[in-house]
A and B are shown apart, each in its own frame.
Chain A
Amino acid sequence: MSYFLQQLINGLTLGAIYALIAIGYTMVYGIIGMINFAHGEIYMIGAFVSLITFFVLGVVGVTWVPLALVLVLVSAMGFTAFYGWTIERVAYRPLRGSFRLAPLISAIGMSIFLQNYVQLLQGARVKSLPPVIQGGFKLMESNGFTVQLSYLQIIIMLLTVALMAGFSIMIAATPLGRAQRACEQDMTMAALLGVNVDRTISTTFIIGAALAAVAGMMVTMYYGVIDFFIGFLAGMKAFTAAVLGGIGSLPGAVLGGFLIGLIEAFWSGYFSSAYKDVAVFGVLILVLIFRPSGLLGRPEVEKV
């Protein structure tokens, strides 16, 4: 029982991180109907920016933890969002209206580029961060096994939920959200009605990147080690989460993220940790076979 509870906590933490990345996939897919393969790399860049900011703050002498956390959060979200904006501007915007495969190939090219860019600049070996927030609650103890809920896990889950609530409100109730929904339905019509489509798409990329940066920061603090390749698998899993929840649907991405996190935690807890990625991939295949529109998504109709 206590083991189960611990896996549940770990799974929810992991799921929060996947959910944050999955939102970026699902928003971009919703608006321009394209899988942003470079999104996993954006998350990886977010993790690196966080780590670098932590180190710089350490050198400068900012040691009060709450201030450091806020500064790192701002720095990671800001710089990573800027990366997201630039990537859209450079690699995707010129391809609107090109042939079908072009944006996908451009995205995969971008992903390869970013991986190697970070590898060349920051080295191929893992970078580690000493723990920033330590301690936690001991929930229960049985048979010598302690169930722990660390402060960091609480922060990760609270922050995720807060960000999600914020963005849900934004999409439902602000002019920007309205423009996004309009572009999602019909880009040409939205443009005719005075919606600045290019700017809306840019904003979508910026938001997606900022959320991925938060995920990157959380992972950096949670695991303490990152390398240039973390974006690949995390991106895959977050995409699976987006598909599982129904791609294009924001609540779906959140639900999918938590489910994938739980599946991964329980699989590695009860079966084998070596094959946990295989399990997640199996979920992706199963969803695509039996319910391609996902749990909360609408079936897709292709129009001429």
Chain B
Amino acid sequence: MPLRNLLKDSAFAALVALILAIPLVGFNPIEGGKVEMRLNWVIIAVVAVFIGRIAIGLVPRRSRAVRAAPRFAPMTSRHIQWLGWMGLVAAVIWPLLPFSSRYLVDLATTVLIYIMLGWGLNIVVGLAGLLNLGYVAFYAVGAYAFAISAQYFDLSFWEALPIAGALATFVGVLLALPVLRLRGDYLAIVTLGFGEIIRIILLNWVSVTGGPNGINNIPRPTFFGLPLAASAPGGGTTFAKFFGIPFNPGQRIIFLYFVILALAMATNFLTVRLRRLPVGRAWEALREDEIASRALGINPTNVKLSAFAIGALLAGFAGAFFATRQGFISPESFTFQESATVLAIVVLGGMGSQLGVVLAAIILVTLPEFGREFAQFRMLVFGASMVGIMIWRPRGIFSNRTPSIQLGAPPA
């Protein structure tokens, strides 16, 4: 673009920014009918937009045909597999490394929860092309299913895990069944609403869920019946006593880490395998072209339902793990923000890419740990980057994933 036009465009963008910034950036109503003026903020915003627009214009524009092709030499599946194994080895030895502290293992556990959620949502959004905006609802159902069954029926984590998964799946099927017959957009808004409804129910159904106070004293998982605690209830044997090693509170953290690692790897294995089954192929076919898939004899409702249900199941497992790890849950943990974070992980990672989800989860979860500024602007950046990625790299930043099998050239 000639410089002159670029300057004109940027000036226009700056003008737009000025008008947009005047009310919301420029003025801040404060107590007592006073208004705080923030003209300096407006100027900063306008200048930032002007410079940003020039920067975008200076990036050479690639033609559509070039843009469709991968920017880097595409990684072959062999490379990706190798990278995956490396990642797994790194994950396994992570807690045993000399520099790894309790904090680092705990952080890695959080990252793994999001990786698992991301992989679960990836089946729904990335493979089947169904936008689930209330994924956290199934996570919440799993967490509460475990917490409640532990509280009322005295079930342990391993006993309650299948229940949590089954309940989340059941709720997911119940919700999706009527909606999946319709256009995909309806599913998006229904799941969005459902995520909020679940939270309202959890907040108000005080007799069962404890309302805003949540549920306390959720039991920790045991290692084949051996509790990882200083002393076992009822004078039983603890993990430390059984193996004859001194007790250390870090053992529980590390054990939890391996539990979620196993759960996440099971999710990954399931996804990779399912993609090679007819149902996995059908998901991708439906995502690419629903009408053509129907013509080929795929039942769209059932196939979509299977993807949605598996996604809910995995979220239920992750939720049960979250409950046992925290030991305490409340509706606070299951806000729309969580759904948005998981969706951002999937979108940033490149929908359908397993490795992309891992990278995106690591970045998005550790970013707020670097400082309050990052935490404050986190959701703002997530939202903006979701828009940006859809415009510039719709298949994700980290990966270029084409459908598993494809005939001919991709459509221009």
Contacts and interface: CB of A to CB of B under 8 A. Distances in A.
Q: Do A and B come from one complex?
A: yes
A75 B383 contact: no
A95 B376 contact: no
A52 to B, nearest CB: 5
A103 B377 CA distance: 23
Interface residues of A, number: 67
Given A49-B24, A236-B196, A109 B379 contact: no
A118 interface: yes
A113 B383 contact: yes
Given A35-B189, A52-B29, A278-B201, A105 B131 contact: yes
B94 interface: no
Nearest to B290: A302
B185 A110 contact: no
B131 A52 contact: no
Interface in B373-412: 376-377, 379-380, 382-387, 390-391, 394
Tell me if A's interface is mostly helix, strand, loop or mixed.
helix
B358 to A, nearest CB: 20
Interface string B198-236: 001100100000000000000000000000000000000
Contacts of B391: 91, 94-95, 106
Interface residues of B, number: 57
A272 B12 CA distance: 51
Interface stretch (B145-153, B162-170, B175-183): B175-183
Contacts of B377: 116, 120
Nearest to A35: B185
Given A236-B196, A285-B178, A288-B190, A55 B380 contact: no
B192 interface: yes
A110 B185 CA distance: 16
A277 B201 CA distance: 10
Given A108-B340, A288-B178, A288-B186, A98 B394 contact: yes
B20 interface: yes
Given A56-B35, A79-B22, A112 B178 contact: no
B367 interface: no
Given A278-B200, A281-B193, A288-B182, A99 B340 contact: no
Contact of B380 (A58, A101, A116, A300): A116
A100 interface: yes
Contacts of A168: none
B192 A236 contact: yes
B75 interface: no
Contact of A53 (B23, B25, B179, B190): B23
Contacts of B24: 45, 48-49, 52, 117-118, 121-122
Contact of B23 (A75, A102, A233, A240): A75
B188 interface: yes
B336 interface: yes
B28 interface: yes
Nearest to A78: B19
Contact of A127 (B29, B336, B376): B29
Tell me if B's interface is mostly helix, strand, loop or mixed.
helix
B291 interface: yes
Given A91-B387, A104-B185, A59 B35 contact: yes
A111 B383 contact: yes
Contacts of A37: 188-189, 192
Contacts of B22: 79
A102 B392 CA distance: 11
Contacts of B27: 52, 55-56
Given A102-B394, A106-B391, A109-B390, A281 B33 contact: no
A232 interface: yes
B200 A284 contact: no
A285 B190 contact: yes
Nearest to A90: B387
A106 B394 CA distance: 10
Given A79-B23, A101-B184, A105-B390, A116 B347 contact: no
Nearest to A229: B336
Contacts of B133: 108
B352 to A, nearest CB: 11
A275 interface: yes
B380 A113 contact: yes
Nearest to A53: B23
A2 interface: no
Contact of B382 (A53, A112, A304): A112
A114 interface: yes
A116 B379 CA distance: 7
A289 interface: yes
Contacts of B197: 277-278, 281
A113 to B, nearest CB: 3
Given A121-B25, A232-B336, A278-B197, A288 B387 contact: no
A239 to B, nearest CB: 6
Contacts of B347: 105, 109
Interface in B352-384: 376-377, 379-380, 382-384
Interface of B: 16, 19-20, 22-25, 27-29, 33-35, 125, 129, 131, 133, 175, 178-179, 181-186, 188-190, 192-194, 196-197, 200-201, 204, 291, 336, 340, 343-344, 347, 351, 376-377, 379-380, 382-387, 390-391, 394
Given A101-B184, A110-B387, 13 more contacts: A49-B24, A52-B35, A55-B35, A56-B35, A59-B35, A79-B22, A86-B20, A95-B391, A100-B184, A108-B340, A232-B196, A284-B190, A300-B183
19 contacts: A37-B188, A37-B192, A58-B35, A91-B387, A101-B184, A106-B387, A106-B391, A108-B343, A109-B382, A109-B390, A112-B380, A117-B24, A118-B24, A236-B192, A236-B193, A274-B200, A278-B201, A285-B179, A289-B178
Q: Which 8 A-B pairs have the closest CB atoms?
A: A109-B386, A113-B383, A112-B383, A55-B29, A116-B380, A289-B178, A106-B390, A109-B387
Interface of A: 34-35, 37, 45, 48-49, 51-53, 55-56, 58-59, 75, 79, 82-83, 86, 90-91, 94-95, 98-106, 108-118, 120-123, 127, 130, 232-233, 236, 239-240, 243, 274-275, 277-278, 281, 284-285, 288-289, 292, 300, 302, 304
